[in-house]
Amino acid sequence: MNEETLAKSVLCVGCTVIDFVTITGSYPKEDTDRRCLDGFWQRGGNASNVCTVLGVLGSKVDFYGMLSTSDAFRVLLDDLKRRNIGTRHCPHTDKDPPFSSVILAQDTGTRTIIHCNKNYPQVTWEDFKKIDLLRYGWVHFEARNVAETSRMMASIVEHNRVSGESIIISLDFETLYEQNLQLCYPCDYVVFSKELASQRGWKSPRETCESLAADLSLQGTRSPPVIICPWGSAGAVCLDASGNCHELPPYKPQQVVDTLGAGDSFMAGFIYAAHKHKRNLAEAVDFANRVASHKITKFGYDHIGELSLT
């Protein structure tokens, strides 16, 4: 990556939702009536959260997803604007925004999320192709909407081929393994979730990286992406394109307060270190571990700005 590329913004493609967060002492039993300890709402959604943390760390970042003209969506637009997260390319709908109901249980430190999107429309390649890719040095995607996302990725690959640029493509892969596997092929980096790994029967981050790499090899991908698997309190493992495996130990938080968005914070920390500061793979994953660990010590994301990449 040259200096000109490093100076460019990051574009995060995905969704933004309203998170309604309820804090309880313990997870509620079925068919009971109880009061919570606290509660609040915040802007959520994977790509949206990555934007937030990148902005807090000091990166230039734009969000690309479906926005809404509905009154309920205004709080999300106001927060994006307040944080200087660009939305210039986003298409609009008049539908109410998707939302997530989140329960944070203090005794276990767990977060339980129930999503509701009511067929909220997703962005398409027709809108994406209007974007001036010269603005960006890195484009990050959620693994969703395979047909349209594949076309978006292909347009970046073609842009790089024609222009001689090297826009980096990364993917947050956490659902629907067989359906979304093909999205890995054009990527430079794939971050694979512990939850999906467990669904596949993979019992460690190293096994996950090696198994995903084998599946991609069987599919004949021309150039394997770097595979990164964060594993919570066990740290993270990354497998580079040459097959070299790096194990990065975890950072132990002083306390666990809010695990919601820890994975998105990891993703943002990695992009920040690799893109803006040109750190090597192991160093960038190590910083991502630091960011995720620090995030869970308080509610929200603003305290992540206390960290520096030294």
Domain boundaries defined on the chain: 3-28+37-305
Number of H helices, E strands in the chain: 10, 14
Q: Strand, helix or coil at 101?
A: strand
Q: Residue 28 corresponds to which tokens in the numbers above?
A: 């509620």
Phi and psi at 265, nearest 5°, equal -65, -40
DSSP reduced 3-state for 256: coil
Q: What is the pLDDT of residue 21?
A: 87
In angstroms, what CA-CA distances link 66 with 45, 48, 117? 12, 11, 12
Going by C-alpha positions, the residue among 36, 51, 83, 56 that lies closest to residue 294 is 56
Q: Can you give the pLDDT at residue 110? A: 83
Rounding to the nearest 10 degrees, give the CA dihedral for residues 275, 277, 278, 282.
Answer: -100
What pLDDT sits at residue 106? 85
Interatomic CA distance for residues 56 and 258, integer angstroms: 17
Decide which of 3.30.70.1050, 3.40.1190.20, 3.30.70.1520, 3.30.420.40 is the CATH code for 3-28+37-305. 3.40.1190.20
Neighbours of 265 (CB within 10 A): 29
**Contact between 228 and 173 (Cβ < 8 Å):** no
Per-residue pLDDT, 218: 72
Q: Give the bridge partners for 192, in sequence order.
A: 173
Q: What is the pLDDT of residue 222?
A: 64
Residue 183: closest CA among 209, 213, 145? 145
Residue 175 burial by Cβ neighbours in a 10 Å radius (0-12, 13-18, 19+): middle
pLDDT at 2: 45
The tokens describing 8, both together, are: 């460019």
Q: What is the pLDDT along the chain (310 residues), one digit of tens a residue?
A: 444 444 799 999 999 988 888 999 999 988 898 888 888 888 989 999 999 999 999 999 999 999 999 888 888 999 999 999 999 999 999 988 888 898 988 888 788 889 887 788 999 999 999 999 999 999 999 999 999 999 999 999 999 999 999 999 999 999 999 999 999 999 999 999 999 999 999 999 999 999 999 999 876 656 789 999 999 989 999 999 899 999 999 999 988 888 889 999 999 999 999 999 999 999 999 999 999 999 999 999 999 999 988 6
Is 302 in contact with 281 (CB distance < 8 Å)? no
Q: State the pLDDT at residue 42.
A: 86
CA distance 308 to 310: 6
Q: What is the pLDDT of residue 221?
A: 57
Report the length, in residues, of the chain.
Answer: 310
Report yes or no: 120 and 92 within 8 Å, Cβ to Cβ.
Answer: no
CB atoms within 10 A of CB 304: 24
Pick from 245, 262, 178: nearest CA to 206: 245
